[in-house]
Structure 1
Amino acid sequence: MDKQENKKKKLPLGVRLLLLHFKLVLVLLIVVLVWFTFCYFDRVKSTDALPSEYAVYLRTDSIWETAEPLLDLDATLIAMTSPELQKYRDTFLKVKSSRLRKSFFVRTALKRRLDAAVYDGSAIGILDAGILSGAARIVPYAIPHIKKLSGLLEISSNQYGNYYQLNESTFFVFKKNLIIFSTDKMLLENAMTYSNSKLYSKEELSAMTAKLKNPLRILANGKNLLRFVENMDSEKSVEDEKEKNPSALKNYLEAIVPYLSENEFTELTFGITQNEFNLGISVPMNTETDEDHPVLQLLKRESSVPTLLPKFSEDVQYYTLISAGTLQSLKDAILKILPAEKDFSSTWNKSDSVSRIVFNTPLDELLFSWTGDEFAVFGIEGKSEPVFAIKVADEAKRTEIFDRIFSSYLLNSNDSLLVDGVRLPCVQMPGFVLSVLQALNINVPKPYYLIRDGYLYMSQSPENLVAINSGAHNSKRLTGSTNWQRVSSSQTPYSTLSLYYNLERSVPFFVKGNSAMSKILALYNSGRFDLRIKDSVLSVQLQASAVELESSRHIPGFPIELENKTNATLIKSKAKKSKLVFWLENDSSVNSLDCGTFARGKTELPEVQYIVAASEATAKANNGELWAVTKSGMVYLLNGKLESVFGYPILSGVSMTCPPFVYKDSLVLAGNDGVLCFISQTGEVSQFETDAEDGIKSAPAVNGDILAFYEKGFFGGIHIYKNLEPVTKEGPLELDGIAYGSPCLFTAGGKQYTAMITQAGQLYVYDFNGELLDPFPVGLNGVFYMNVAMADGYLFALSAEGEFYRVGLDGKSMRIKIPYFTAKTGRITVCDYDGQAGEEIFISGDGNSLYGFNSLMEMLPHFPVSGYGNPLFVDLNGDNKNDCLAITFDNKISASNVLK
């Protein structure tokens, strides 16, 4: 039996070898499991390594869940274009497009806790390897054997152990389950004590270690945070060489830092998606003090619901609403926080002295005796001029003050303007009051004003006040609009300072700019920022939304976000079958878009100032589709790939006084001496001397072999050349006054004419014999900053006040007033956009709206659309109907379906 049992127990050699390998693997797995289990429990807490006195603390329990969604956000890509992060942009794009994002192992590896903190000038990050701690502990032993790291890493040591230095600002160390990164060697050494949790109070430690309800937690030490912002502001001021004196922000922070709570922590909430942006900061204050600092007195005043807010009609596009206190208390605070170079105190004292002399009234009584505790600046849809509103606390006192100052021979109130049945007085603001306002960046030298419902409204534009009066009778309020409610869902109506913006048709001042934050906010084109004070807590909240524009029908793939600012000029290639559109960005790059394939092109041309479409003949001869000219007169001819054509660039040596233009296939540059420099498609250069004595200020008009320009000045006039021979042989055609732009050339009844309107509204029409067409000149009401355009036998003009005129060659005119539209700057574009009989007229002004009209002055369907500058019309979706391309105020190329 024993022999039989032994035979049964004895296994074949091959099986025994397999079992041996299995046992070895099993033992190895058990050892690894024991090692990883040991490493998981033998750990260092993140808070032990985190130095105290941070400004901002951030924690996430999963880097993957927090960071991975950010890769697909437009806002993140914009942030990567900022100077601070630009060097990481290429790496970011590689990570964003990497297949590793779909890797299970990468996802698992990045589901780790990360604690990070920002200090004064430095930062630290602490990664907890968690279950992967066993692998993290082995890394230090493997680093010396990795050849690729040889020469890159420097191993150093201090009293707490070894650490690694990658470059002058990157240090890291491995400690059990932690991988610690720092930008500062001393900060890393502080972390390596692994005893920092003893330095935190019980409340702070609890706030740092509490279970997360959201993917990300951000805490801040109020005093350190504000000091950090203060230092950033100081560094920025030094870099910009703006100050040797404290800034307003620094003065404000110095005023409130001493009154931050010692026992509570600043909380930050942050959320961002492709459609929503939310940021909230709550700063506990210690206002139980007898300190009489004016800023602190404002902070002690709890926020209320501004009474002006419910009065805003739905056509209010943006507002800044202040309800922090009386004008007196705001003035006292301003005296404390405005930088010294503003010298506001001196300006106030001088103005007060003048007020006492002129009106026998101190400035305090003049301004404070009747004003309340609410003030606002807001904009009406389509209007460039803002409205200023002041709450009237004592109407009887206001009437007394106004009667007193208007009775002075130094100040007049003009009551003659009557608009839509509303009488609007216009007052010439006294110089001493204007100087105080200008010190606060408020410029209203000659405002109209309206008293209504307990508020004084002032604006340079009387149409604004008419709109306010009309809006008071309208049941539709801003607070009931979809956009306002969308960005107010997490807000309360209580506020001390409130800002609201809507980029659909106008861009408020606080979103303009080229900074990364401005660009990110521009993505979320409707937003609300509120500062409120409640129960001694100062809260700041920004809620913004990417609102779909309602004013146009967007083509799929649009709008296209532009990285840099443009001059709002789109150029269409004239090459046969080409679908390329060109534009400039930042005076440094020429950009292209193929409207067929949506392929983008870009080339850097330093100091490039102008681009002009080359003629079809030029494109056929050498593939040159676009002329590009720099500020110094260097001329490029670029093909569709934005490559320079052989033989270019050419140094013209011309100092230009106006944009270049194309005449008979050649590019023409106008010099400051009135000489025209012609550059042919083959690169030949020739010159032609005109009769202009004062130079040419606007690009000449070209019609076939006719070339005409306006020599600006009281003694200038219209010069006309045919095949470079002067048509106006007896001198330029005279205009009585100053005009803008270039002559309008047209043919009527087989005869050639030129037309031009002066700034004062005198419209001249000359034939080429120098004879005025009867009954011209005719006068149009308004101020004109651009010349007329011809369409379907009529001349069309646009005044700065937004009045659109059609003038026949018989001198008869008709006009329409475009609501909430001004055109101190703007363009008139004439083209046949629908392929039907007749031409259409497209106009843009100071706002973000493009209007379209037919020659009967009827507005075209689906207009206005968002945009400014010149529109282009291209079939973008293959339906054989042109779509409207335009650049918008928020720096995008928008495409709208305007033909159905």
Structure 2
Amino acid sequence: MDDNKTVNVKTKKKLPLGVKLLLLPFDIVLVLLLVVLLWFAFCFFDRVKPVEALPPDYAVYLRTDSVWDTVEPLLDLDATLIAMTSPEFKDYRDTFLEIKQSKLRNNFFVKTALKRRVDAAVYGYEDDGKLSALCVLDAGIISGAVRLVPYIIPHVKAAAEQIEISVNNHGTFYQLGEAGCFVIKKNLVIFSTSRNLLEQAMTYSNGDLYQKEELEVFKKKLRDPLRILADGRNVLKLVAQMPVSEEDKKNNTPSMLKNYLEMIVPYLSEEEYTSVNFGISESDLNLTISVPMGITVDYVSVDNESPVLNLLEKESQVPSLLPKFADDVQYYTLISAGSLSELRDATVKILPDSKKFLATWNKSDTVSKIVFNTSLDELLFSWTGSEFAIFGIEGKSEPVFALSISDEAKRRQIFDRVFASYIVQSNDSLLVDGVRLPSINMPSFVLSVLQELNINVPHPYYLIKDDFIFLSESPENLVAINSDAKSTKKLSGSENWMKVSSKHSPYSTLSLYYNLERSVPFFIKGNSTMSKILALYNAGRFDLRIKDSMLTVQLQASALELESSQHIPGFPIELENKSNSELIKSNAKKSKTIYWVENGISVNSLDCGKFEKQTFELPEVQYIVAADEATIKANGGEIWAVTKTGVVYLLNSKLEVLNGYPVLSGLSMTCAPFIYKDSLVLIGNDGVMCFVSPNGEIKNLETDVESEIKSTPTVNGDILAFYEKGFFGGIHIYKNLEPVTTEGPFEMEGIAYGSPCVFTAGGKQYTAMITQAGVLYVYDFAGNLMQPFPVTLPGVFFMNVEMADGYLFALSSEGALFRVGLDGKSLRVKIPYFTAKTGHITVCDYDGQTGQEIFVSGDGNSIYGFNSAMEMLPQFPVSGYGKPLFQDLNGDGKNDCLAITFDNKISAANVLR
């Protein structure tokens, strides 16, 4: 071995300290990224199944694998906005509108975060009438971020103010005021409207309470964006607890639905859920409910006393009358469930007042036996088949009734016996277009039975054709049916019918085709939320069919002619008592509350965000005035209310009287009160002004008027201007409650109405007023007339001018709107069919764009809108009178127009698109 041999040993070079320091931040970032990835990976696998947080015994269950894809398109639907006005959801309406307008809808991270699975369930109503529901969001891959939220909430001021931390037997949860409560558990965010329900969810062991078949529902993959399932028995309980409007009570709609559900629930399959497929857009609505039935042949034979069950066991067929309808049929109700006697027996079980119907039937049966020696059953059922229809023909107002004939010989026998009687007469003399049409004077005892079913045909004509008897009060209908039999154009080939029938099967037990211009089906009648939503789609087809032990209810509807673009869901609102024309808007920030007076006995409010109405009984209330922001901040006083005797109340947003009120002004008022700075000002018949401060203190100001102030003064900052009627009257201008001149009021020749218009032009303040004879005066505050004023406008004027965009606008009693420049030149627009002996000119910037708009109302029920160039605004006129209010009602970020109408409703129109 050579000792001199050198061995090359490779050694690792060490990095210089400076380089290490430069690389240190990158190392830290890499470590942090690794920690974050490990944390998110751990959270993704350390999870709780949604079913563990979902208590059983729900009425309706919903699931989507992407809440964003399912919910986001619904934000812009009128149907969703209507739903948010319902008692069940009105507390969330304001939040819904904020979400609808939020820029976060276009945020990538928000979209990603909401592409999560959601399981939700509706259970029933609690003792306080609140709907009990629960929603479980599975955060999935973003669980790592969600788990940190409970540690962040206490340190975010805005969140801490809105969220109350609470504790129950299972841990900590968060209360969101009256809206509900939520909790975060590993990968789950659980929200509930009920604290009791949330406590059940927080056991996180609900999966053990489900049957094996039920658990499959949670595991099964979705084929559609949304899965809806229902438990028939619990749905029945939900319907029984559901709030009912007075109109629905009057129509007995809830009772009929409840009775029907009570009949079929015992025969529902216990192994399968009822499934619901639902799709909705602005133009189309599709709903399919599939109900698995648990009826067996053996069971039916034992319980053949149930008439409803007897109908449910019958398989649906293709109605023979449907292919015969010509294309001029505009609507129909077609029943092919069974014989009329079977339908009668089932109807008795469903009708809310079945005893009354049975009493009418038994009485009529007795009369029939006496008169015809025939029972009512034989008279009506011995010859009729299993199809019955009501339909309407284009251009004809009266409906047509059709009955299939199962035994023509028996029909002739019955008719011969009936017409041989002196009670019933047939008139064979009517001949229309070559068709002889007999008529029947319907026996009163038969008519009374029909009227119990809302069928009223006292003197129908009839036609026998193609194994059907057609009856109608209009003989022209029957002539059309006879002619249509030869037509090749059928309803089933028409465009409108096909549009709402593309998803339907030809089999049906009950089928309705409707057009809201001609017919209103039973499920749209009433004032319920669902009725209002369905009414958005003005044509549709509703079918009920039974095939292979499956009861299917299907609705396909379309807005073939879309409703007016001015339609605001939830409006109009019918007022209980007569109101004046004045709506008052709250001045509180972010408030969407409006106020009005009804019958001089109550102050009323509507929160247009939550759609919550409140009433404060106040006899002899005459005026209400919105408090200014300073008053609202000082003591929460939002609305002043003044009685005819001058008693002053200050109410908060809940219409509660504030401490220190009411106060007595001691005045007999000559005009409506108003706000000056932060005080309410009342004017007495001697010209005294009474100032009521927010804390209830009263101060009086003597003015220099010698007669009376008939119109509410104009306030512009620290300027107060009013008109004194009388021989020595004129325009009074006060600045900081001191007259601006010592020479008295500015004089005018003639009588005027209203209060002075105060404006600034060229850095100088002016006031303007027009007399009844049309002489327009413009003064500066020194009492000098602006040249070339006064100018005279043709017409008679009962209200003063208003300033907008540097022009004065005047409205004559004949309905002429004038624009007058400060150079005296004028333009004129005549509003058709419009007079204004009473009315208002309202100036505001309703669209947030450059320039102001002018809104005028007169003696009629129309409000017109113009821009300062005298061009009529799009979407105007709208219904209403008095001064309009502008507020965003549907969350599209644009103001809508509110007004009270002559028929005593609060109307709302979408006037900006």
TM bucket normalised to smaller:
0.5 to 0.7
Confirm or deny that 1:404 pairs with 2:412.
no
Confirm or deny that 1:45 pairs with 2:44.
no
Confirm or deny that 1:252 pairs with 2:257.
no
Q: Is the 8 A contact 1:246 1:340 kept in 2?
A: no
In the aligned structure 2, how far is the partner of 1:26 from the partner of 1:296? Answer: 70
Q: Which amino acid aligns with 1:145?
A: H
Deviation at 1:93, TM superposition (A): 2.9
Question: Residues 467 and 405 (structure 1 numbering): CA distance in 2 closer, same or farther, change over 3 Å?
Answer: same
Deviation at 1:504, TM superposition (A): 6.2
In the aligned structure 2, how far is the partner of 1:174 from the partner of 1:547? Answer: 45
Q: Is the 8 A contact 2:248 2:528 kept in 1?
A: no
Deviation at 1:239, TM superposition (A): 10
In the aligned structure 2, how far is the partner of 1:503 from the partner of 1:183? Answer: 36
| Cross-structure match for 1:11 | 16
Q: 1:441-460, aligned counterparts within 5 Å?
A: 441-460=454-473
Q: Which amino acid aligns with 1:537?
A: M
Confirm or deny that 1:225 pairs with 2:205.
no
Offset from partner CA, 1:250-298 (integer Å, 9 cap, x none): 2222221111111111111011122221110101111111212110110
Question: Residues 310 and 149 (structure 1 numbering): CA distance in 2 closer, same or farther, change over 3 Å?
Answer: same
Confirm or deny that 1:355 pairs with 2:376.
no
Offset from partner CA, 1:377-428 (integer Å, 9 cap, x none): 1111233322111111111111111111121111222223222222222222
Question: Residues 379 and 871 (structure 1 numbering): CA distance in 2 closer, same or farther, change over 3 Å?
Answer: farther
In the aligned structure 1, how far is the partner of 2:579 from the partner of 2:95? Answer: 24
What TM-score, normalized to structure 1? 0.61
Deviation at 1:832, TM superposition (A): 12
Question: Residues 343 and 403 (structure 1 numbering): CA distance in 2 closer, same or farther, change over 3 Å?
Answer: same
| Cross-structure match for 2:426 | 413
| Cross-structure match for 2:288 | 280
| Cross-structure match for 1:270 | 278
Q: 1:536-555, aligned counterparts within 5 Å?
A: 536-548=549-561
Q: Which amino acid aligns with 1:531?
A: L
Q: Is the 8 A contact 1:501 1:528 kept in 2?
A: yes
In the aligned structure 2, how far is the partner of 1:508 from the partner of 1:299? Answer: 22
2:269 is matched with which residue: 248, 251, 261? 261
1:134 is matched with which residue: 141, 144, 161? 144
| Cross-structure match for 1:303 | 316
Question: Residues 516 and 236 (structure 1 numbering): CA distance in 2 closer, same or farther, change over 3 Å?
Answer: closer
Question: Residues 215 and 149 (structure 1 numbering): CA distance in 2 closer, same or farther, change over 3 Å?
Answer: same
Q: Is the 8 A contact 2:335 2:511 kept in 1?
A: yes
Report the aligned-residue RMSD: 4.4
| Cross-structure match for 2:153 | 143
Deviation at 1:193, TM superposition (A): 2.0
Q: Which amino acid aligns with 2:276?
A: L
Q: Is the 8 A contact 2:251 2:526 kept in 1?
A: no
| Cross-structure match for 1:66 | 70
Confirm or deny that 1:535 pairs with 2:535.
no
| Cross-structure match for 1:517 | 530
Q: Is the 8 A contact 2:286 2:555 kept in 1?
A: yes
Q: 1:251-650, aligned counterparts within 5 Å?
A: 251-288=259-296, 289=299, 290-292=302-304, 293-340=306-353, 343-503=356-516, 511=524, 513-548=526-561, 559-561=565-567, 563=569
In the aligned structure 2, how far is the partner of 1:312 from the partner of 1:871? Answer: 43
Question: Residues 118 and 584 (structure 1 numbering): CA distance in 2 closer, same or farther, change over 3 Å?
Answer: closer
Q: Which amino acid aligns with 1:198?
A: D
Q: Which amino acid aligns with 2:33?
A: L
In the aligned structure 1, how far is the partner of 2:416 from the partner of 2:156? Answer: 87
Indicate the larger mover: 379-388 or 119-128: 379-388
Q: Is the 8 A contact 1:255 1:295 kept in 2?
A: yes
Question: Residues 587 and 212 (structure 1 numbering): CA distance in 2 closer, same or farther, change over 3 Å?
Answer: farther
Offset from partner CA, 1:359-386 (integer Å, 9 cap, x none): 1111110111011101111111233322
1:111 is matched with which residue: 89, 110, 115? 115
Q: Is the 8 A contact 2:566 2:875 kept in 1?
A: no
Question: Residues 454 and 886 (structure 1 numbering): CA distance in 2 closer, same or farther, change over 3 Å?
Answer: farther
Question: Residues 244 and 406 (structure 1 numbering): CA distance in 2 closer, same or farther, change over 3 Å?
Answer: closer
Q: 1:735-884, aligned counterparts within 5 Å?
A: none
Question: Residues 413 and 561 (structure 1 numbering): CA distance in 2 closer, same or farther, change over 3 Å?
Answer: same
Partner SS for 2:560: coil
Offset from partner CA, 1:541-588 (integer Å, 9 cap, x none): 111122258xxxx9xxx6543547789xxxxxxxxxxxxxxx999987
Q: Is the 8 A contact 2:44 2:144 kept in 1?
A: yes
Partner SS for 2:447: helix
Deviation at 1:519, TM superposition (A): 3.5
Deviation at 1:885, TM superposition (A): 10
Question: Residues 430 and 260 (structure 1 numbering): CA distance in 2 closer, same or farther, change over 3 Å?
Answer: same
Deviation at 1:529, TM superposition (A): 0.6
In the aligned structure 2, how far is the partner of 1:370 from the partner of 1:241? Answer: 37
Unaligned runs of 5+ in 2: 1-5, 126-131, 584-592, 600-619, 625-669, 674-750, 756-830, 834-860, 880-906
Q: Is the 8 A contact 2:542 2:555 kept in 1?
A: yes
Question: Residues 527 and 411 (structure 1 numbering): CA distance in 2 closer, same or farther, change over 3 Å?
Answer: same
In the aligned structure 2, how far is the partner of 1:894 from the partner of 1:152? Answer: 32
What TM-score, normalized to structure 2? 0.60
In the aligned structure 2, how far is the partner of 1:162 from the partner of 1:286? Answer: 44
Partner SS for 2:542: strand
In the aligned structure 2, how far is the partner of 1:886 from the partner of 1:479? Answer: 39
Q: Is the 8 A contact 1:279 1:543 kept in 2?
A: yes
Partner SS for 1:409: coil
Question: Residues 40 and 8 (structure 1 numbering): CA distance in 2 closer, same or farther, change over 3 Å?
Answer: same
| Cross-structure match for 2:135 | 125
User: Structure 1 vs Structure 2: percent identity of aligned residues?
Assistant: 62
In the aligned structure 2, how far is the partner of 1:243 from the partner of 1:559? Answer: 31
Q: Is the 8 A contact 1:885 1:894 kept in 2?
A: no
Deviation at 1:158, TM superposition (A): 3.7
Deviation at 1:681, TM superposition (A): 9.3
Deviation at 1:303, TM superposition (A): 0.4
Question: Residues 168 and 85 (structure 1 numbering): CA distance in 2 closer, same or farther, change over 3 Å?
Answer: closer
| Cross-structure match for 2:765 | none
Deviation at 1:29, TM superposition (A): 1.6
| Cross-structure match for 1:853 | none
Question: Residues 88 and 24 (structure 1 numbering): CA distance in 2 closer, same or farther, change over 3 Å?
Answer: same
| Cross-structure match for 1:170 | 180
| Cross-structure match for 1:748 | none
